[in-house]
């Protein structure tokens, strides 16, 4: 188990196995439902190496991890003892609960197969570029063979959905695959004139579809569970699958197939009505502006079935390609913050999540930065909306299932005009979002036990820095400190503090980031928002105590505000051992500021 240590720590901080009600995951998030959210030590979880952030609400406790989330999830459910993901379904009463459950099922099912859809789309896009540039003959066997990857992936989409949904509902995926393959057989798929028990069937094309098989697998899971209760165990092997298929197939043909067709027609009608009433440009602009909010609510993949339906019926996607425009807006906002940030750790964060968004994965930025600072949402709404407006007015469309930077060349499939305006749209989104984010800046953040709040005070302009109280005691000139490294000024200018009580708390004298916590808990480095590098050293020769009598409340990388307690130590114990308890506070990079 590659992530055993991580998962063991995580499980402990979540309150143990007894506090885990459900476990699921999407592209970058581990999504849990806990019996008691208050048992989860959120701040400690955020400090785990590999955790980008935590978002908790009444519906789910989401831990943003990254693209390795699938491997972590597989080991985590084994550690927790959940073998059947269906046993951990979210159950919320009322209409809201039904809608939420549907969104969760659709999103998690699509998350399992979206990587394959992207691969098929990119291969198709590369083939388009090769054939348009005459590197490869479009009628050659080589082109047909590789094109089969894309065409087969979307044609047999019901089989992929069946497998993913079966795992989600906790049943044998092979029986679901057989059901999907039956619907795609030449005896049923799109055949006219069929009857079942004398009842005429609609000639429905199940290839490229999503909704009918998802409903069918859901019903299949209910039937299987009921049959497992009714049938003697000795007969399960011989009768269970046969009876389940015999019951579910007719219901699918008579009910779920038509429902899927009606939903598809309804979606098409709704999009057509929007296009006719307000214009396609408005819908593209709106989606590009609000897409980050859909990610927050876990609905990012909810539009995938609509996109697949558009490809199947129209041959292209006229709206939801705007997700790529939005992604570039997210990347632009993070680039603006990267330029604005003065703390190296912040620059690393903004640069990393910005690059991820550039490649089409925005969850790290949205959950790691957007929810913390809020203002990037506005930047993307403005930048993404502007880019979406341009693309909508110019009639950009997507003929290949692809997104992000790697997917941009595939827009050549729609012609040079299509490609040119798509490139212009993502450039507009990136630049405007970046400029807006840089202008808005980011507020200082304080995290309380209850929630994360935003303090509306801007960072220092760098012209000066006032150091607040670091500890309670009497000021000692640094030149009087009995440590030559400090008294000589070699480590920088500052002061000494002689504590006056038996126990002493040490506080951060500035707003900034902890850059160093010495293993023996006697020394701390802080980088202030204006760039000052501050060293707080507790006692003289206290390194020899190996942490005895010291307590630390922060870790490297933590954000701190002026007055936050970072350490405490027993002054009386130091004196008993004839150790000088003086605290030294110095600015180590004074020559640079």
Return the HEC string of 378-404.
Answer: HHHHHHHHHHHHHHHHCCCCECCCCCH
- Which residues, at least 6 apart from 278, have a Cβ–Cβ distance to it below 8 Å? none
Distance of alpha carbon 107 from alpha carbon 440, whole angstroms: 33
Q: If DSSP codes are grouped into helix, strand and coil, which group holds residue 267?
A: helix
Which stretches of 441-557 are DSSP H helices? 484-487
CB 562 within 8 Å of CB 468 = yes
26 is catalytic: yes
State the sign of the Cα–Cα–Cα–Cα dihedral 156, 161, 162, 163.
positive
Among 60, 58, 56, residue whose Cα is nearest residue 45: 56
For 122-161, letters b (16+ CB in 10 Å) and e give bbbbbbbebbeeeebeeeeeebeebbeebeebbbbbbbbb
Among 322, 241, 251, 248, residue whose Cα is nearest residue 289: 322
Q: What is the dihedral of CA 99, 101, 107, 112, to 10 degrees?
A: -160
Distance of alpha carbon 193 from alpha carbon 167, whole angstroms: 34
Structure letter (DSSP) for residue 471? B
CB 355 within 8 Å of CB 347 = no
CB 231 within 8 Å of CB 214 = no
- Which residues, at least 6 apart from 88, have a Cβ–Cβ distance to it below 8 Å? 20, 21, 22, 23, 24, 33, 82
Catalytic residue among 13, 26, 157, 161: 26
- Which residues have a catalytic role annotated? 26
């Amino acid at each position: 188990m590659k992530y055993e240590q991580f998962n063991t720590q995580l499980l402990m901080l979540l309150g143990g196995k007894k506090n885990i009600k459900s476990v699921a995951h999407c592209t970058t998030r581990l999504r849990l439902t806990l019996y008691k959210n208050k048992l989860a030590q959120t701040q400690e979880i955020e400090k785990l190496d590999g955790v980008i952030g935590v978002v908790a609400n009444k519906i789910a406790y989401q831990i943003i991890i990254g693209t390795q989330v699938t491997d972590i999830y597989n080991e985590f459910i084994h550690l927790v003892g959940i073998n059947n993901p269906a046993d951990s379904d979210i159950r919320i009463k009322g209409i809201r609960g039904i809608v939420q459950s549907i969104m969760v099922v659709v999103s998690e099912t699509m998350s399992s197969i979206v990587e394959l859809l992207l691969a098929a789309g990119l291969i198709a896009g590369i083939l388009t570029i090769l054939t348009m540039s005459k590197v490869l003959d479009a009628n050659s066997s080589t082109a047909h063979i590789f094109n089969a990857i894309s065409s087969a992936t979307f044609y047999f989409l019901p089989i992929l959905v069946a497998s993913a949904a079966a795992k989600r509902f906790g049943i044998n995926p092979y029986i679901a695959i057989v059901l999907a393959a039956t619907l795609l057989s030449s005896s049923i798929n799109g055949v006219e004139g069929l009857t079942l028990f004398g009842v005429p069937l609609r000639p429905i094309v199940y290839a490229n579809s999503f909704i009918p098989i998802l409903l069918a697998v859901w019903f299949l899971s209910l039937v299987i569970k009921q049959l497992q209760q009714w049938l003697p165990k000795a007969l399960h092997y011989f009768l269970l699958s046969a009876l389940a298929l015999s019951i579910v197939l007719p219901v699918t043909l008579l009910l779920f197939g038509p429902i899927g067709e009606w939903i598809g027609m309804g979606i098409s009608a709704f999009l057509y009505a929007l296009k006719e009433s307000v214009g396609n440009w408005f819908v593209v602009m709106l989606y590009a502006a609000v897409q980050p909010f859909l990610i927050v609510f876990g609905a990012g993949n909810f539009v995938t079935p609509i996109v697949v339906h558009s490809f199947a019926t129209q041959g292209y996607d006229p709206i939801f390609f705007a997700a790529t425009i939005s992604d570039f807006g997210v990347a632009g906002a993070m680039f603006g913050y990267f330029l604005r940030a003065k703390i190296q750790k912040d620059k690393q964060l903004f640069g990393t999540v910005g690059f991820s968004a550039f490649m089409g994965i925005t969850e790290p930025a949205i959950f790691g930065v957007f929810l913390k600072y809020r203002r990037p949402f506005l930047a993307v709404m403005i930048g993404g909306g502007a880019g979406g407006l341009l693309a909508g007015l110019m009639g950009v469309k997507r003929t290949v299932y692809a997104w992000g930077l790697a997917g941009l060349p595939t827009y050549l499939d729609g012609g040079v005009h299509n490609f040119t305006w798509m490139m212009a749209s993502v450039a507009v989104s990136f630049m405007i979002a970046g400029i807006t984010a840089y202008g808005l800046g980011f507020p200082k953040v304080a995290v309380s036990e209850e929630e994360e709040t935003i303090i509306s005070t801007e960072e220092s302009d760098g012209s000066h820095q006032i150091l607040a109280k670091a500890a309670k005691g009497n000021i000692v000139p640094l030149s009087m400190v009995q440590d030559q490294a400090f008294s000589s000024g070699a480590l920088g200018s500052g002061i000494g503090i002689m504590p006056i009580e038996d126990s002493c708390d040490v506080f951060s004298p500035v707003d900034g980031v902890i850059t160093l916590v010495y293993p023996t808990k006697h020394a701390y480095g802080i980088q202030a928002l204006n760039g000052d590098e501050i060293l707080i050293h507790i006692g003289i020769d206290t390194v020899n105590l190996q942490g005895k009598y010291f307590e630390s409340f922060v870790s490297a990388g933590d954000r701190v505000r002026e007055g936050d307690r970072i350490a405490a130590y027993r002054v009386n114990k130091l004196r008993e051992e004839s150790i000088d308890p003086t605290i030294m506070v110095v600015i180590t990079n004074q020559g640079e500021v």
